[in-house]
Structure 1
Amino acid sequence: MTVDLPHPITGQLFGSPVPPGTGWPEDPAAPGTPVARTAAGVRRLAATPDLAELDARVSVCSACPRLVRWREDVARDKRASFADQPYWGRPIAGWGAADPRVLVVGLAPAANGGNRTGRVFTGDSSGDWLFASLHRVGLATQPTSVHAGDGQRLVGARMVATVRCAPPANKPTPDERDACAPWINREVGLLAPGLRAVVALGAYGWDGALRALAGAGLEVPRPKPRFGHGVEVPIGHVTLIGCYHPSQHNTFTGRLTPAMLDDVLGRARALAG
Structure 2
Amino acid sequence: MNVLILTDLSQVAKNAAEFALQFLRKTPVKFYLLNIGQFHTDEDPQMPANERMARALVKIERRILELKKLTTNPDHQFEALYSENDLVTATRRYTDAKKIDLIVMGAANKGFSPYTIVGNQTYEILKKIKCNLLAVAEGSEFRKIEKLIFPYTYIPSLDETIRKLENFSAFEKKVEINVMEIFGNTEEEDIISTGAGTLVATTNSSRVKHLKMRDLDIFSISQLQKIQEDFDLIALMGKDITLCYKLLHNKYGIFSTISGKLPIFILHD
Bigger Cα Rg: 2
Q: TM-score, normalization: structure 2?
A: 0.27
Higher strand share: 2
